[in-house]
């Protein structure tokens, strides 16, 4: 093999060099930028705003459930609050967060390209997100919506007197933002890889984003059309889902979950890509079974499309269909397990460093394993009948979607923060926040497994007094979790000004993104890199004392 | 301060290779689509019994095929990726229909 040494630090103090951040300071230079890195930062600001808004609604839910009585709000208000929480978190945070922020920033850097294939479509995607967000905020201030994030019919078309159409339109528009991101990634990964960067040399982050993009492009149009059909039935009373008009309410659930179950994989796959990068870097080893981990992303994307009706086991689908979907649900556990086992095997005999990103990676594996395995409980017909629509389901999907996605996102943000900003974050505070997030998360959601198992249904504002202890634990955990989320906000902002300056490769990591300066120049690389090495060639990278400075 | 120049880079452009047709050709295809739309509406007033949905879906399929082949430039595209995208789109549609029918066709309470 030819030259494999990676220049560890090209430009110490490189923040003074011309880079994508100091290349234009006007508002116009940001709002009309076609630089994928700047668009990633625009997305970061927007999704963070929606995350805290969604978190605000989560706190309202937890405060209401602190006591058995409905004393903080009315039942109708509670319905709107959990709907707002769900819609904001799913459509405006979880789906875009990793692809649109980290993916946008890193995909061109990791494949050695100067930008994404369609930079203007990338900017359009952010504007669509903002338009959809504004529409949703208007809907929220105008009384909100109370259908649950799932828009189930016939309630959404025949009964609800809230702003269903406006919320649906917002989801429709934000869906196109997601399609454009996926389109950009697929074309970029196919057509713009650096010379020598073959498919089998791609970072697993890229494989994960490729698989995610497939789901975005193939699935999102289906939910968009379904929401249009809801609007058509609501406005024109055409019989599509309403049985009184000759429609079929289960048709809505089939169409909705055909997208919305794979949407879970849109959320989790990019995070899995992040975790593969973190585990390899902080155990200084090539990932165990590269091809299996890479192809398991594609397998998850494809098999994820075959399992949707497990959301409908008690809704009245046929027993035959229920058995088929139950079997297929177990099948999707296989590629997920391949990833977890291979990450664990990568750790074996690795030279492990417990830096903050690695703590998040460990947190991800723990939480995703619990979330994934309880998913198999729910895929089992007999157990599902018992716990459907209880807090068991709520706990399960929070473990996968929040435990998985947010841990991956925060781990990735810490890992690539020096690349994005050219500054290090304070390691002590970051470790503390990783710990708070992990403990707070488990304290919030583990009691909900028990609550669901003993029969507390979801989506009620009151509950019998015997459930109170576990609900108080859950609310207490949510407070710890909130501190764990606010802390990184504070020290990330602090580090922008006071953080120690990072060199090009503070983690001594493999990957093309570490070969360019931190922060990278506008067109990413001074010369197009030529790749002659396999991914994660940590055995060939000379050991270097990690100089990640610890600021107290 | 002006926005730094950030466009027109030869490495960034992707060549589009597809056959182009004259404007008259596209107008003709558009006219055929309109005629088929009118036909769909007209047929809706004729009672064909069980063949009502069959005819409607047949016309819709012809229209969709015309759009995909000509307006979306799939016919004449030299890029293999285009073919892969079309095939995977139909493959996922087939999954949606067949697994949904696995429910509808086996409900014993209907």
Two tokens, residue A330? 């177990």
Q: What's the whole-number mean pLDDT along residues A143-164? A: 92
pLDDT level of residue A16 (50, 70, 90 thresholds): low
- Collapsing DSSP to helix, strand or coil, A24 comes out as coil
Distance of alpha carbon B95 from alpha carbon A104, whole angstroms = 30
Distance of alpha carbon B97 from alpha carbon B110, whole angstroms = 19
Question: Helices A290-303 and A319-347: crossing angle, nearest 10°?
Answer: 160
Distance of alpha carbon A179 from alpha carbon A168, whole angstroms = 17
Asked if A26 has any chain B CB less than 8 Å from its own CB, the reply is yes
Within 8 A of A316 by CB-CB distance, chain B residues are 107, 109
| The 3-state secondary structure of A83-113, one letter per residue | HHHHHHHHHHHHHHHHHHHHHHHHHHHHHCC
Instruction: Identify the contact set of chain B against chain A, taking CB-CB distances under 8 A.
Output: 1-4, 6-7, 9, 11-12, 14, 81, 88-89, 92, 95-96, 99-100, 102-104, 106-109
Which of 177-216 (A) contact B at CB < 8 A? 187, 190-192, 214
Two tokens, residue B66? 């015309």
| Inter-chain touch B11–A117, beta carbons under 8 Å | no
Nearest by CB: A218 against B4, B89, B99: B89
| Inter-chain touch A26–B6, beta carbons under 8 Å | no
Dihedral sign, Cα of residue A341, residue A344, residue A350, residue A356: positive
What distance lies between CA A483 and its chain's CA centroid? 20
Domain parsing of chain B, residue ranges: 22-72, 78-105
Å between B82 CA and nearest CA of chain A: 11
Global confidence as pTM: 0.91
Angle at alpha carbon of residue B9, lines to B7 and B12, rounded to 5°: 100
* Residues 6 or more apart whose Cβ sits within 8 Å of residue A120: A34
Distance of alpha carbon A227 from alpha carbon A255, whole angstroms = 10
- Collapsing DSSP to helix, strand or coil, A422 comes out as coil
Q: Which domains does chain A have, with CATH numbers?
A: 39-528 (1.20.210.10)
Q: Is A12 left (phi over 0), alpha (psi -120 to 50) or beta?
A: beta
* Residues 6 or more apart whose Cβ sits within 8 Å of residue B18: B73, B76, B77, B78, B79
* Residues 6 or more apart whose Cβ sits within 8 Å of residue B53: none
pLDDT level of residue A425 (50, 70, 90 thresholds): very high
Per the DSSP assignment, residues forming a β-bridge with A423 are A501
Q: What's the whole-number mean pLDDT along residues A389-414? A: 96
Q: What is the ipTM of this complex?
A: 0.83
Within 8 A of A34 by CB-CB distance, chain B residues are 6-7
Using the predicted structure, report yes or no on whether residue A467 has a pLDDT greater than 80: yes
| Inter-chain touch A191–B14, beta carbons under 8 Å | yes
Per-residue model confidence (pLDDT) at position A134? 97
Distance of alpha carbon A327 from alpha carbon A439, whole angstroms = 34
Within 8 A of B83 by CB-CB distance, chain A residues are none
Distance of alpha carbon A142 from alpha carbon A172, whole angstroms = 19
Mutant choice from B68, B84, B99 vs A, greatest count of A C-beta within 10 A: B99
Asked if A28 has any chain B CB less than 8 Å from its own CB, the reply is yes
Distance of alpha carbon A356 from alpha carbon A281, whole angstroms = 12
- Collapsing DSSP to helix, strand or coil, A533 comes out as coil
> pLDDT tens digits, chain B, 110 residues: what are they?
344 444 444 444 444 555 677 889 999 999 999 999 999 999 989 888 888 889 999 999 999 999 999 998 888 887 787 888 888 888 999 999 999 999 999 987 55
Nearest by CB: B95 against A29, A250, A306: A306
Two tokens, residue A364? 């991800």
Nearest by CB: A190 against B3, B9, B81: B81
Using the predicted structure, report yes or no on whether residue A91 has a pLDDT greater than 60: yes
Per-residue model confidence (pLDDT) at position A2? 37
Per the DSSP assignment, residues forming a β-bridge with A390 are A457
Contact between A350 and A284 under an 8 Å Cβ cutoff? The reply is yes
> How many helices (H) and strands (E) in chain A?
17, 0
Q: What's the whole-number mean pLDDT along residues A428-441? A: 97
Radius of gyration of chain A, Cα coordinates, nearest whole angstrom: 23
What distance lies between CA A153 and its chain's CA centroid? 27
């Amino acid at each position: 093999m030819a030259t494999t040494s990676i220049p560890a630090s090209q430009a110490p103090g490189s923040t003074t060099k011309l880079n994508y951040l100091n290349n234009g300071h006007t508002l116009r230079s940001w709002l009309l930028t076609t630089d994928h890195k700047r668009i990633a930062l625009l997305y970061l600001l927007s999704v963070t705003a929606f995350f805290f808004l969604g978190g605000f609604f989560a706190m309202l839910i937890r405060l209401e459930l602190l006591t058995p009585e409905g004393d903080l709000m009315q039942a109708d208000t509670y319905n709107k609050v959990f709907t707002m929480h769900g819609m904001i978190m799913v459509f405006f945070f979880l789906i875009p967060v990793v692809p649109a922020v980290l993916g946008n920033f890193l995909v061109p850097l990791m494949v050695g390209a100067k930008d994404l294939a369609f930079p203007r479509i990338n900017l359009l995607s952010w504007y669509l997100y903002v338009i959809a967000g504004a529409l949703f905020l208007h809907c929220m201030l105008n009384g909100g919506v109370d259908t649950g994030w799932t828009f189930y019919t016939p309630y959404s078309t025949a009964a609800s007197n809230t702003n269903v159409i406006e919320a649906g339109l917002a989801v429709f528009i934000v869906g196109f933002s997601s399609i454009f991101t996926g389109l950009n990634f697929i074309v970029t990964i196919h057509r713009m890889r650096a010379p020598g960067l073959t498919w089998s040399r791609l970072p697993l982050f890229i494989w994960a984003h490729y698989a995610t993009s497939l789901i975005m492009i193939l699935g999102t149009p289906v939910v968009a059309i379904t929401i249009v059909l809801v609007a058509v039935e609501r406005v024109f009373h055409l019989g599509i889902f309403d049985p009184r008009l000759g429609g079929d309410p289960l048709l809505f659930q089939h169409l909705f979950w055909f997208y919305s179950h794979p949407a879970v994989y849109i959320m989790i796959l990019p995070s899995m890509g992040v975790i593969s990068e973190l585990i390899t870097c902080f155990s200084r080893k090539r990932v165990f079974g590269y091809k299996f981990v890479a192809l398991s992303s594609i397998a998850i994307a494809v098999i994820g499309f075959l399992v949707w009706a497990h959301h409908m086991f008690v809704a009245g689908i046929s027993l035959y269909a229920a058995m088929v979907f139950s079997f297929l649900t177990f099948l999707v556990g296989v590629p997920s397990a391949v990833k977890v086992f291979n990450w664990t095997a990568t750790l074996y005999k690795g030279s492990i460093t417990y830096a903050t990103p690695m703590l998040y990676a460990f947190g991800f594996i723990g939480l995703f394993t619990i979330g994934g395995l309880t998913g198999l409980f729910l895929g089992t017909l007999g157990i599902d009948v018992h716990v459907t629509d209880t807090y068991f389901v709520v706990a399960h999907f929070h473990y996968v979607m929040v435990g998985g996605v947010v841990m991956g996102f925060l781990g990735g943000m810490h890992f690539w923060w020096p690349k994005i900003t050219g500054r290090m974050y304070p390691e002590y505070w970051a470790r503390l926040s990783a710990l708070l997030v992990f403990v707070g998360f488990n304290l919030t959601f583990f009691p909900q497994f028990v609550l669901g198992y003993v029969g507390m249904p979801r989506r009620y504002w009151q509950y019998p007094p015997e459930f109170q202890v576990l609900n108080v634990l859950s609310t207490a955990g949510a407070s710890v979790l909130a501190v764990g989320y606010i802390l990184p906000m504070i020290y990330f902002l602090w580090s922008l000004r006071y953080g120690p300056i990072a060199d090009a490769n503070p983690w001594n990591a493999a990957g093309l993104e570490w070969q360019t300066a931190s922060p990278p120049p506008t067109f990413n690389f001074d010369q197009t890199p030529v790749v002659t090495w396999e991914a994660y060639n940590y055995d060939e990278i000379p050991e270097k004392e990690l100089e990640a400075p610890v600021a107290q | 301060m002006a926005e730094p120049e950030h466009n027109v880079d030869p490495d960034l452009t992707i060549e589009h290779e597809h056959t182009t047709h004259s404007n008259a050709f596209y107008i003709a295809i558009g006219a055929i689509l309109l005629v088929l739309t009118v036909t769909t509406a007209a047929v809706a007033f004729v009672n064909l019994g069980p063949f009502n949905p069959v005819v409607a879906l047949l016309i819709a399929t012809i229209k969709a095929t015309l759009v995909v082949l000509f307006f979306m430039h799939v016919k004449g595209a030299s890029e293999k990726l285009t073919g892969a995208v079309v095939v995977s789109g139909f493959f996922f549609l087939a999954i949606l229909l067949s697994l949904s029918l696995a429910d509808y066709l086996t409900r014993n309470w209907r």
